[in-house]
Amino acid sequence: MTRLGLAALACALLALAGCGSTPARKAAKRPEPVDTSLARIEVGDNGREIVMYALGLVDVGYQFGGKNPEAGFDCSGMVSFIYRNAINVELKGSAADMARRGRPVGRSQLQAGDLVFFNTMNRPFSHVGIYIGDDKFIHSPSTNGRIRIESMKSKYFATRYEAARSFFAG
Residue 121, C-beta contacts closer than 8 angstroms, at least 6 positions apart:
127
> What does the pLDDT average to over 24-42?
42
CATH 3.40.50.450 fits domain 44-166: no
How confident is the model over 74-94, as pLDDT tens digits?
Answer: 999 999 999 999 999 999 999
Residues 153-160, mean pLDDT to the nearest whole number:
97
**Residues forming the active site:** 75, 127, 139
The pLDDT > 90 percentage for the chain reads 71
- What local confidence, expressed as pLDDT, does residue 66 receive? 95
Beta bridge partners of 136: 133, 151
- Rounded CA gap, 55 and 37, in Å? 26
Q: What is the pLDDT of residue 43?
A: 53
- Give residue-wise pLDDT tens across range 94-137: 999 999 999 999 999 999 999 999 999 999 999 999 999 999 99
| 3-state SS class at 132 | strand
**Cα–Cα distance, 49 to 83 (Å, whole number):** 9
Q: What is the mean pLDDT of residues 24-46?
A: 48
Q: For the whole model, what pTM was predicted? A: 0.75
